Structure 1
């Protein structure tokens, strides 16, 4: 039983080896065909060297661009939008605070200092309106 299982696994491995060998020979044949289709010439060598330099330059430029990523116009615009949204949110909050403060002081006669203490508003609070 165990010997039979080992034999089956061995047969499977041999079959996959044959498949891999066939793929390898096909790839080698296609490489040879491509080599024949692209003969080495001085023009080709010059073009390949030019391509290599261009790729290297692109890599260097991408590294340099990454250094200045904080100055990217898209990121700067995104930060500006975030600042505007934060300011609008703070204005809404302070507006709500001002409305609440005036309502309670007028309607219920509550002392503004007590209300600030109850709401947890610190002494250094500044109204940005």
Structure 2
């Protein structure tokens, strides 16, 4: 009887992002560990590392409030972050394609003499490095495509649903500000200043 194959890191990242988008709330690590295992099949002891990888990639936000760390993910921000990342990677790939084309031309020129010259060897080396870098960047692009909200289109139902979700998050932000004022005596304007909330922050129309 074969053993059940565990989830890959990318599968865990995708499932944890789904959890954030489905719950639309703020969470502490312990809460995510419990829900991740119960609802998404992510082993609780791995949730912390998966969460940190998403924070490092700017997919999930985190802030320390009082003595606790809270984590959340805005669908709209996640979309923009992935689009920026994909755009950057696409530009890098285009640059590598140009380098590859240049190296191909140099390689053709180098082969004319059919001699194993130092220049030809260097061109071959550069070409191999360019191909390896292109493959690496393409793999990176595929990784972000797996997390693209388009993959979760049925759940988010396009731009209109994302807009509604953003407005619900706006409710959450106002709720947190109200909670912080009641709990810690922190004024809303101080929270805006400390956490970079724009002065015109409001619901989307």
Instruction: Specify the TM-score bucket, using the shorter chain as the normaliser.
Output: 0.3 to 0.5
Q: Which has the higher contact order (CA 8 A, sep 6+)?
A: 2
Q: Whose strand proportion is higher, 1 or 2?
A: 2
Q: Whose helix proportion is higher, 1 or 2?
A: 1
Q: Higher Cα Rg: structure 1 or 2?
A: 1
